[in-house]
Chains A and B, each alone.
Chain A
Amino acid sequence: MTTLGEVCRLIRSKNAGPFVLTFDLLFATRTDYERAKRAQPLTVARLAKIYRVPESVITLVYHDNAMAIKASMPRPIVQGDLADSDCYGGQQYVPLLEIELE
């Protein structure tokens, strides 16, 4: 059993402006990226379930040149609002670490 956390050289989340949260999963090897591209461990449906947002607001791309999966969605809470716990959106990727590659 191999997880995305194991085959990615970097998994991060970040603000793309105050209203959008974006996730980058950068694979360490072309082989593992191609495996992910075939197996599609990360889908819009899966992200919607994890982050509790409608599928219609999520964008997801497999980026060949960067050997990366990139997903974006509206921030559930706008950056810096009273209830926001993560101003940079920087720790929101953690639920992705344990997802199985295949």
Chain B
Amino acid sequence: MDIRVLSPTGVLGAGFKTDSLRRGVQLAPHVIACDAGSTDSGPASLGSGVPKLSREACKRDLRLLLHARAALDIPLIVGSCGTSGRDVGVDWMAGILREIAAEDGLEVRVALIKSDQSTTYVRRRWSEGRIVPLMPAPSITPSIIDASHIVGMMGVEPIAVALEEGADVVLAGRASDAALFAVVPELAGADRGASWHAAKTVECGAACAVVPAADGMIAYIRDGYFEVEPLDPAARCTPLSIAAHTLYENGNPYLLTEPSGVIDTTGATYHAVSDRRVRVCGSRFTPAANYTIKLEGAQCVGFQTIAVGGIRDPQIIARLGELLPHAQHYFDGRVAELFDGRVAQDSYEIDYRVYGRNAVLGAVEPMRGATAHEIGVLITITAPTQELATKIATMVCHVSAHMPVPGYDGIISTMAYPFSPPEIERGAVHRFTLNHVCVPDDPFEMFRTEIVEVGS
């Protein structure tokens, strides 16, 4: 058994060296797989459907991967398309693919696997007790479900079926990162402990290498073990870097839960095969008693307008603790006047984040009480509409610039704004609403696959 899995980069659109991909192609992989999404940059992509990385960057990477795939006649699997893995993200990526195919004369059989979950489905499974909270999970209600965009994170099974139906390229919605890399080894009957741990190791591309990079890795899945090596000859993997990668972005480094089971690295051992290549033995995969699909949800909680300002006067800095609450109290009165009582006080929020005064660590800050000579102020207004947020923000920014300072005889400007106007509209803001798994009847019911011929 020797299944070779090529991971060109950590996230499609982050880039990679063309030489690295060329080297990877020479190693004759059985599959190229690449993740294109994450929740790591926050709830905005899932809430809005807008991808985090640019269309140009994704097109550049996808084009190179499509040509590499065509040269080898192997599958290309891209998961969590459009950052969120929402249906609109899959359609967005499919649009890019069609454009490349037309420009470069490519013919490909493409599987689009959608993972949006209807509120009807989620509510039904919830009422059946088959939406199970993970630790820690926010409490959910039918109205939160209704207000959320929800995706399910698919396992290998829908992707495996698409490959069996002859897909050259799979564009998947939200998917387990590791599943993208584990599916071809699984179909080949490879050792599941080795293939899943290998998948988990290369899913971030060369993030597990020394020095970590947005570049490629190759994994060799063998009987009872796997080996990994970076594609860039200047990069290395060490037993330490590969062992340490199990820590990265995981709560538990030994037990990593996937839809169909748990990757168990407790007994894994890491050996240097060369100064660049590492062999990992002893990984296990324990099949799950209950197949579970992780749900991700985000809802819109309002619109924001922000402003950034600075304060340098030591007298004002010293008095900020009293000036800001005073200003906030004043604003509530002004909003009531301005909008003639039509805007309820609990429908908007005026927040000052004071950089230079525990803004990053808050109560955890070990240097609470230290005084900075210069302060950055981030003013954030959150309201039910963008228009209202900006109306309140213009008043807040004006007043914040002219806070009366006790002891000063006359008006001064208390805030240094770098921009004119100081207000910046940030659009809709979202929050994550789910940290739950769904127990479906089978691995397929939550996902919908469409096979399309592109370029023919």
Contact = CB atoms under 8 A, between A and B. Distances in A.
B254 A82 contact: no
Interface in B235-257: 239-240, 243-244, 246-254
A61 interface: yes
B251 A59 contact: yes
A35 to B, nearest CB: 17
A70 B253 contact: yes
A24 B292 CA distance: 28
Nearest to A14: B249
B137 A19 contact: yes
A86 B366 CA distance: 17
A3 interface: no
A20 B42 CA distance: 13
B132 interface: no
B435 interface: yes
Given A52-B363, A82-B349, A91-B360, A65 B42 contact: no
A87 to B, nearest CB: 5
Contact of B244 (A24, A80, A88, A94): A24
Interface residues on B, range: 35 or more
Nearest to B280: A65
A46 interface: no
Contacts of A95: 361, 364-366
Contacts of A79: 39, 42-43, 432
Nearest to A25: B247
Given A66-B246, A66-B247, A78 B366 contact: no
B136 A20 contact: yes
A65 B268 contact: yes
A18 B247 contact: no
Given A57-B136, A59-B251, A68-B244, A82 B41 contact: no
Interface in A67-102: 67-68, 70, 72, 74, 78-83, 85-88, 91-92, 94-95, 98
A3 B360 CA distance: 22
A88 to B, nearest CB: 6
B140 interface: no
A44 B192 CA distance: 34
Interface of A: 14-20, 22, 24, 26, 50-52, 57, 59, 61, 63, 65-68, 70, 72, 74, 78-83, 85-88, 91-92, 94-95, 98
27 contacts: A17-B39, A18-B42, A18-B432, A19-B137, A19-B432, A20-B251, A24-B244, A26-B244, A51-B364, A52-B363, A52-B364, A59-B252, A63-B247, A65-B243, A67-B240, A72-B252, A74-B136, A80-B42, A82-B429, A82-B431, A85-B353, A85-B360, A86-B360, A87-B42, A91-B360, A92-B364, A95-B361
Given A19-B137, A19-B432, A94-B366, 18 more contacts: A17-B39, A22-B250, A59-B252, A61-B253, A63-B243, A65-B243, A65-B270, A66-B243, A66-B246, A66-B253, A70-B247, A78-B431, A78-B432, A79-B43, A79-B432, A82-B301, A87-B42, A95-B364
